[in-house]
């Protein structure tokens, strides 16, 4: 068996949303198809992935380096010990040939997206949902029936009113979610607090609300927000400052008692280890939110989870970034704290399977082989076009 071809294309997200720091009007994502010569149900098995949300398409690196390296390799060197499925670690090593240390995000998103598509193919060849395959390899076979899921919502958009924001949050609660997140930092602090209080009237209390500043604040502003937000005892305060300013994160953790969160802009295990060592993050309450397809993929995520465990971090403190079926399968397969959800935003790339339902804040998992994109009709149409 072998990988016959790997194809990619860049798709615009066509979103009018914005966070505190940038809007998504130019945002694109790379969609990848890994085509194998294995036949299931009369068709070749294809693995699919996309490069999650918030980082632009990265086809140039894929076309110049990573796809040619895989296709040039002796196919037998990319198979597992039994020779009857692909070996993700061997394919990762093949992509990393002739790559210098450091400089991670120049390649981690391209490599991670291809790697996650490889996992989709592996699970389909094994005829199992990806979260089952991951649970067998990384979680003693413990397969949860459902996963806690919260809404990454409350975006800024042109003409938005407080009532619009409250209506959005009401829709999320009506849909079955119990934890919602809203953006902060896009308005002056006093206005952000007013909007936050309006949302709290809908969701009830701080434990049902997280906020995300998308790395907006300098030291003075981060400390000002921390002081203003602390009394609300929010579920978490996400990305107050630059993701690599570990000294400021540590300072915030020393003065802000409720949970902090970060990690979606860290792309390697050493970067996350520096957060654990120097960021002052507290394993008993804070949240780490790596985006696996953007950070070298699932095999590397497993190494990051192991590293964090050595620093005392339980898996319940890990919430992979990206409201999509890739992060959902990873949250389920590794037994993590939960997954994010983007209902109704990011066009065909937001949300889960069309038949997915949220009950009491948790989503039931599908039995579809692989990641399950086949159950997400609009997105699957884009993926199928790559292989036809």
CB 131 within 8 A of CB 333: yes
Query: 192 or 212: whose CB is closer to Mg ion?
Result: 212
**Residue nearest Mg ion by beta-carbon distance:** 212
Query: 88 or 322: whose CB is closer to Mg ion?
Result: 322
Query: 53 or 376: whose CB is closer to Mg ion?
Result: 53
Rounded CA-CA distance 124/370 in Å is: 5
Rounded CA-CA distance 268/306 in Å is: 13
Q: What are phi and psi of 165, to 5 degrees?
A: -65, -45
Q: How far is the CB of 365 from Mg ion (least distance, A)?
A: 24
Residue span binding Mg ion (CB under 5 A) among the ranges 41-49, 160-168, 206-214, 348-356: 206-214
User: With CB under 5 A, what is the number of residues at the site for Mg ion?
Assistant: 1
Residue span binding Mg ion (CB under 5 A) among the ranges 91-99, 128-136, 139-147, 209-217: 209-217
Rounded CA-CA distance 371/384 in Å is: 15
Query: 120 or 212: whose CB is closer to Mg ion?
Result: 212
Q: How far is the CB of 327 from Mg ion (least distance, A)?
A: 12
Residue span binding Mg ion (CB under 5 A) among the ranges 4-12, 143-151, 207-215, 373-381: 207-215
The active-site residue out of 181, 208, 216, 321 is: 321
Q: How far is the CB of 213 from Mg ion (least distance, A)?
A: 9
Q: CB-based burial of residue 291 (10 Å sphere; 0-12 exposed, 13-18 middle, 19+ buried)?
A: buried
Measured at the alpha carbon of residue 265, what is the angle toward residues 262 and 270, in degrees to the nearest 5? 90
321 catalytic residue (yes or no):
yes
Q: How far is the CB of 239 from Mg ion (least distance, A)?
A: 5
Mask: binding to Mg ion, 91-130, rule CB under 5 A, as x and -? ----------------------------------------
CB 246 within 8 A of CB 278: yes
Q: How far is the CB of 63 from Mg ion (least distance, A)?
A: 29
The DSSP-derived string for 245-281 is: -HHHHHHHHHH--S-EEE-TT--SHHHHHHHHHHS--
The active-site residue out of 132, 183, 208, 216 is: 183
Contact status: 212 vs Mg ion (CB under 5 A): yes
Rounded CA-CA distance 354/365 in Å is: 12
Q: Which residues touch 373 (CB under 8 Å, ≥6 apart)?
A: 48, 120, 325, 379, 380, 383
Residue span binding Mg ion (CB under 5 A) among the ranges 210-218, 245-253, 301-309, 337-345: 210-218
Q: What value does the CA radius of gyration of the chain take, rounded to a whole number of Å?
A: 20
Query: 88 or 351: whose CB is closer to Mg ion?
Result: 351
Query: 323 or 372: whose CB is closer to Mg ion?
Result: 323
Instruction: Lay out the sheet containing 3-12: strands in order across.
Output: 3-12, 28-40, 43-50
Contact status: 340 vs Mg ion (CB under 5 A): no
Q: Which residues touch 163 (CB under 8 Å, ≥6 apart)?
A: none
Q: How far is the CB of 265 from Mg ion (least distance, A)?
A: 8
Site residues, Mg ion (CB under 5 A): 212
Active-site positions read 183, 321
């Amino acid at each position: 068996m072998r990988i016959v071809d790997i194809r990619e294309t860049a798709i615009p997200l066509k979103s009018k949303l914005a966070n505190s720091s940038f809007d998504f009007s130019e945002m694109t994502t790379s969609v990848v198809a890994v085509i194998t010569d294995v036949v299931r149900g009369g068709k070749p098995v294809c693995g699919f992935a996309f490069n999650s949300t918030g980082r632009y398409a990265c086809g140039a690196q894929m076309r110049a380096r990573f796809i040619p390296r895989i296709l040039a390799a002796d196919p037998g060197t990319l198979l597992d010990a039994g020779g009857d499925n692909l070996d993700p670690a061997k394919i990762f090593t093949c992509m990393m040939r002739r790559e210098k240390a450091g400089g991670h995000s120049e390649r981690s998103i391209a490599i991670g997206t291809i790697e996650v598509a490889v996992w989709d193919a592996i699970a389909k060849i094994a005829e199992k949902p990806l979260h089952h395959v991951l649970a067998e390899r990384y979680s003693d076979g413990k397969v949860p029936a459902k996963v806690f899921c919260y809404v990454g919502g409350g975006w800024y958009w042109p003409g938005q009113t407080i009532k619009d924001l409250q209506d959005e949050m009401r829709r999320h609660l009506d849909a079955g979610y119990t934890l919602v997140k809203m953006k902060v930092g896009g308005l002056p602090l006093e206005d952000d607090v007013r909007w936050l209080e309006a949302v709290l009237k809908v969701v009830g209390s701080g434990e049902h609300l997280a906020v995300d500043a998308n790395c907006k604040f300098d030291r003075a502003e981060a400390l000002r927000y921390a002081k203003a937000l602390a009394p609300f005892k929010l579920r978490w305060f996400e990305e107050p400052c630059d993701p690599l300013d570990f000294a400021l994160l540590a300072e915030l953790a020393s003065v802000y008692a409720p949970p902090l969160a970060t990690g979606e802009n860290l792309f390697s295990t050493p970067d996350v280890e520096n957060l654990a060592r120097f960021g002052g993050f507290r394993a008993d309450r804070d949240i780490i939110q790596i985006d696996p397809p953007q950070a070298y993929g699932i095999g590397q995520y497993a190494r990051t989870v192991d590293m964090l465990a050595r620093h005392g971090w339980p898996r319940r403190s890990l919430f992979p970034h990206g409201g999509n079926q890739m992060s959902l399968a990873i949250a389920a397969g590794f037994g993590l704290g939960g997954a994010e959800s983007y209902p109704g935003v990011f066009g065909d790339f937001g949300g889960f399977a069309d038949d997915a339902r949220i009950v009491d804040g948790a989503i039931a998992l599908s039995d579809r082989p692989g990641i399950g994109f086949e159950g997400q009709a609009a997105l699957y149409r884009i993926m199928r076009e790559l292989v036809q």
